[in-house]
Structure 1
Amino acid sequence: MSRIIAGAAGGLRLQSVPGRDTRPTTDRVKESLFARLEAWGMLRDARVLDLFAGSGALGCEAASRGAASVTLVERHPGAVRVCRANARTVHGALGRDDVVAVRPGAVGGYLADPAAGPWDLVLADPPYPLPETELTAVLAPLAGRLREGGVVVVERSSRSPEPDWPAGLRRFEHRRHGETTMWFAETDVTSAPPPGAPDQDLRPRTHPL
């Protein structure tokens, strides 16, 4: 069982996905991630997309902390059932049933719909074995579908290389937490730094601390 750390649904227990080769985001990493997002003003009234949602824990955390809408995209039937159950739990705590939507199916198929988006925040927690070329293909459609000041967060193994950012996205920060590294990217308004270059900013320019 995981839990919602803070917000209107803080403390609620969420179902986990049994029998899948996943590594749910730990509470320590999740707390660090959402503390940064809240400091940047990224959550209140935001439109959030949670890709490779698993149990939907990240998206549900965003809903608890004030997101206006959250879309969970997950392809595995068992995980979809857990996402729906966790969405109902959050809706009960929030007193409304229109915040978290579950979209069954592959991430690529969902992003192929030109009507999907735009979003303020995209959370992507793909399986660690996902090849880097496939990750880049997932990230590519996001570049033109972020609202002004929007951010993409990619969670990867610390043993994996920096994502190969597609045209239109630039990394501005990353944070390592043991085995997990969080990569933060925004719309590329200049030129993207080469992989491995130092972070150019410590925050999105449109969301100052």
Structure 2
Amino acid sequence: MRVIAGEARSIPLITPKGDDTRPTQDRIKETLFNMIQMEVPGAVFIDLYAGSGGIGIEALSRGARHAYFIDRGGEPIKCITANVHKCHFDEKSTIIKKDAAMALRSIHEKEVDIIFIDPPYEADLYEHTLRTLASLPYVSEYTTIICEASLEEDFSFAEGLGYEIKREKTYKNNKHVFLKKVANS
């Protein structure tokens, strides 16, 4: 796994040992960033359930102003810390080792531009995470929320939480679901 484009282009990243994390493949990561390329420069980015931190690091490499990396595992946090340092993004990064809901509540930004959510597929965390985000002041109708999920994952619950599905991009084994908070919800 490597950084695909930008300031840290081609720098190899380390990934946590074991099967607990599932780094986004380079080809899928490139497709994702091609879709959001205009939103990334200057953005505040949250990489939630960050694993190796590859998505947040890619955002920083492509001009994001700041990235928050959230994971509760010791091994992922070590990898994220090493990768951020290797890419010289220490000053633009905040690494939080906490449960997702607690970590999200500890962020005090006026607005967050992009939130990437990639929990373990079998953990059934999307609804809980989106419910938490719906209550936070830095998530607005301008915030892009991207969920990486299995092809079978059903996001029909999102409307009831005040979100609108804006786009869905499917790949061979998974998909990206793009959501926005409905104004005044």
1:138 aligns with 2:129: yes
Using a 3 Å threshold, how does the CA distance of structure 1 residues 61 and 135 change in structure 2: closer, same or farther?
A: same
Q: Deviations over 1:71-129 (max 9, x none)?
A: 000111011000000010121xxxx6311221111101112337366310000001010
Paired residue for 1:32? 31
Q: CA RMSD in A?
A: 1.9
Given the two structures, how large is their TM-score scaled by the length of structure 2?
0.90
Paired residue for 2:172? 178
Counterpart of 2:127, as a letter, is: T
Using a 3 Å threshold, how does the CA distance of structure 1 residues 124 and 62 change in structure 2: closer, same or farther?
A: same
Q: Distance in 2 between matches of 1:31 and 1:161?
A: 24
Unpaired stretches in structure 1, ≥5 consecutive residues: 192-209
Given the two structures, how large is their TM-score scaled by the length of structure 1?
0.81
Paired residue for 1:206? none
1:105 aligns with 2:98: yes
Post-superposition offset of 1:147: 4.8
Which structure shows the bigger proportion of residues in helix conformation?
A: 2
Paired residue for 1:62? 59
Q: Distance in 2 between matches of 1:89 and 1:156?
A: 28
Unpaired stretches in structure 2, ≥5 consecutive residues: none
Q: Distance in 2 between matches of 1:136 and 1:47?
A: 23
Q: Distance in 2 between matches of 1:87 and 1:163?
A: 35
Q: Distance in 2 between matches of 1:50 and 1:72?
A: 5
Post-superposition offset of 1:137: 1.5
Using a 3 Å threshold, how does the CA distance of structure 1 residues 135 and 88 change in structure 2: closer, same or farther?
A: same
Contact 1:136 1:164 in 2 (8 A): yes
Using a 3 Å threshold, how does the CA distance of structure 1 residues 52 and 65 change in structure 2: closer, same or farther?
A: same
Q: Distance in 1 between matches of 2:166 and 2:84?
A: 31
Q: Distance in 1 between matches of 2:110 and 2:150?
A: 27
Q: Distance in 2 between matches of 1:75 and 1:163?
A: 27
Larger deviation, residues 18-27 vs 118-127: 18-27
Post-superposition offset of 1:35: 0.3
1:121 aligns with 2:114: yes
- The number of equivalent residue pairs is 182
Q: Distance in 2 between matches of 1:67 and 1:114?
A: 17
Q: Distance in 2 between matches of 1:106 and 1:52?
A: 9
Post-superposition offset of 1:172: 0.6
Larger CA Rg, structure 1 vs 2: 1
Using a 3 Å threshold, how does the CA distance of structure 1 residues 147 and 65 change in structure 2: closer, same or farther?
A: farther
Post-superposition offset of 1:56: 0.3
